[in-house]
């Protein structure tokens, strides 16, 4: 196994330990079942809702670029970089979630893994763009729910 795969597996095992085995609160089975049953449909709804935001980010970067020069070169680079990181990360997350849908509907672990990777990308993008609070809070909530329902996927 390569070093990269070992690191990813170690992270998954560590998260499983703290978000499932040592978690102070377990989501009740009937709620987990509902999340697994309706989760793919919620992902579809959220993807549809997110698509205009991605298009807006790309459009905003284009429209705002001439005006960012008033803030100086550092502001222009920072603004553009933040928008591009957000757009690329959101696009990658959407692609991973699209790839996850067949597996989620069939309750296969590969579908779960694509959503897991999508969450990690979103957390990393939030950290890179300076949204530390959002990364921590959103990351804990999304990963907690994901790891609580992981046992439903084979």
Domain positions in the chain: 28-152
- At residue 82 the predicted structure's pLDDT band, cuts being 50, 70 and 90, is confident
Q: 105 Cβ partners below 8 Å, 6+ apart?
A: 40, 111
Give the global pTM: 0.82
Neighbours of 97 (CB within 10 A): 22
Residue whose tokens read 């990269």: 4
Query: DSSP for 4-38?
Result: HHHHHHHHHHHHHIIIIIS-S----HHHHHHHHHH
Tens digit of pLDDT for each residue in 25-67?
A: 999 999 999 999 999 999 999 888 877 777 776 666 566 556 5
Helix boundaries (H) for 65-131: 73-105, 109-128
Mean pLDDT of the chain: 86
Tens digit of pLDDT for each residue in 102-112?
A: 999 999 999 99
SS3 101: helix
SS3 76: helix
Neighbours of 150 (CB within 10 A): 19
15-24, 41-50, 75-84, 92-101: which has the minimum mean pLDDT?
75-84
What CA–CA distance (Å, rounded) separates 112 from 76? 38
Q: Give the largest Cα separation in the chain, rounded.
A: 55
Q: 145 Cβ partners below 8 Å, 6+ apart?
A: 27, 35
Tens digit of pLDDT for each residue in 124-135?
A: 999 988 899 999
């Amino acid at each position: 196994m390569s070093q990269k795969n070992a690191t990813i597996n170690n992270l998954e095992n560590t998260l499983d330990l703290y978000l499932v085995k040592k978690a102070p609160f377990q989501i009740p089975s009937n709620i987990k079942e509902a999340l697994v049953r309706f989760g793919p449909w919620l992902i579809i709804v959220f993807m549809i809702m997110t698509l205009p935001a991605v298009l807006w980010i790309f459009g905003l970067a284009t429209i705002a670029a001439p005006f960012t020069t008033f803030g100086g070169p550092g502001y222009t680079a920072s603004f553009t970089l933040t928008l591009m990181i957000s757009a690329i990360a959101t696009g990658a997350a959407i692609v991973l979630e699209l790839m996850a849908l067949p597996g989620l509907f069939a309750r296969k672990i590969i579908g779960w893994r694509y959503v897991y990777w999508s969450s990690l990308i979103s957390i990393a993008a939030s950290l890179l763009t300076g949204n530390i609070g959002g990364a921590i809070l959103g990351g804990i909530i999304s990963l907690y729910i994901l790891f609580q329902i992981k046992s439903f996927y084979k």
